[in-house]
Amino acid sequence: MAETLRPDDVPVRPAATVMLLRDTDTGIEVFMLRRTTSAVFASGMYVFPGGKVDPADGEGDEAFLVAAIRECYEEAGVLLVEEPDGRLIADGHPALVHREAVHDGTVNIHALCDEHGLRLATDRMAYVAHWITPKGEAPRRFDTRFFLAVAPSGQTSSHDDTETIASEWVRPVDALERQRAGDMGMMPPTIANLEFVAAFDNADAALAAGREIGTPPTILPKIRWGEGGAMRGVALPGETDYDSLD
């Protein structure tokens, strides 16, 4: 039987996620995925495309941007890369047939771009939030950077039907209302980032505001434990009991 790690011993893995935005006649929409119910982390929750940073993504801050682009391709089928003339690629481009190969690691995202003369569109993204999974919440913890990007209008999005089992474009205000009604399970970082995006009328405005943030503050929630070791909630920095919790 595998040994259960103590909360202090669970490694914190670097991760990245991206909120894909688009404009519609009824307002801004964000692409959301529902994680499979068999997932070890965030089972059945609604999330944005994302995952852990791989060594092949690179080093330093750039690795988080690359991981966000790679995970977006794997989980949403959207590849944020540019042609030499600066145009984002569209459906039908030969680079888009490698989604499964990038996911299983047989094709490296950097090599894919080199083969097709493409450039990762990292400068089209805005770093808007930084969250670390609280100690004790799950057997896995992540140090996650959240990015914004406007979705390429010529690419079709779809969930991978492996790690994610459903997907939809939804207005942030509607997603938040469904979360409050219990129809969309979400973690606190997802809720907070939806609230940020919901304040804007269009994707470009949200992206511009995201770029003005600079380096976001690190948010480390703490768990409120009840009797018998049951989790009864999560405290965020600034809440009255935050400093008293482990």
**pLDDT tens string 186-211:** 999 999 999 999 999 999 999 999 99
CATH of the domain at 87: 3.90.79.10
Task: Report the C-alpha gap between 134 and 234 in whole angstroms.
Answer: 9
Question: Residue 161: inside a domain, yes or no?
Answer: yes
**Model pLDDT, residue 1:** 38
Structural domain that includes position 51: 7-214
Return the percentage of the chain with pLDDT > 70, whole number: 93
Question: Residue 196: inside a domain, yes or no?
Answer: yes
**Model pLDDT, residue 203:** 97
Task: Report the C-alpha gap between 109 and 163 in whole angstroms.
Answer: 19
Question: Residue 51: inside a domain, yes or no?
Answer: yes
The domain tally of the chain equals: 1
**Model pLDDT, residue 71:** 95
Task: Report the C-alpha gap between 47 and 162 in whole angstroms.
Answer: 14
pLDDT in tens, 132-189: 999 876 677 899 999 999 999 999 999 887 778 889 999 999 999 999 999 999 999 9
What is the pairing mode between strands 12-24 and 50-52? antiparallel
Question: Residue 67: inside a domain, yes or no?
Answer: yes
Question: Residue 177: inside a domain, yes or no?
Answer: yes
Question: Residue 242: inside a domain, yes or no?
Answer: no
Task: Report the C-alpha gap between 132 and 135 in whole angstroms.
Answer: 9
Question: Residue 2: inside a domain, yes or no?
Answer: no
Question: Residue 237: inside a domain, yes or no?
Answer: no
Return the percentage of the chain with pLDDT > 90, whole number: 75
pLDDT band at 40 (very low <50, low <70, confident <90, very high): low
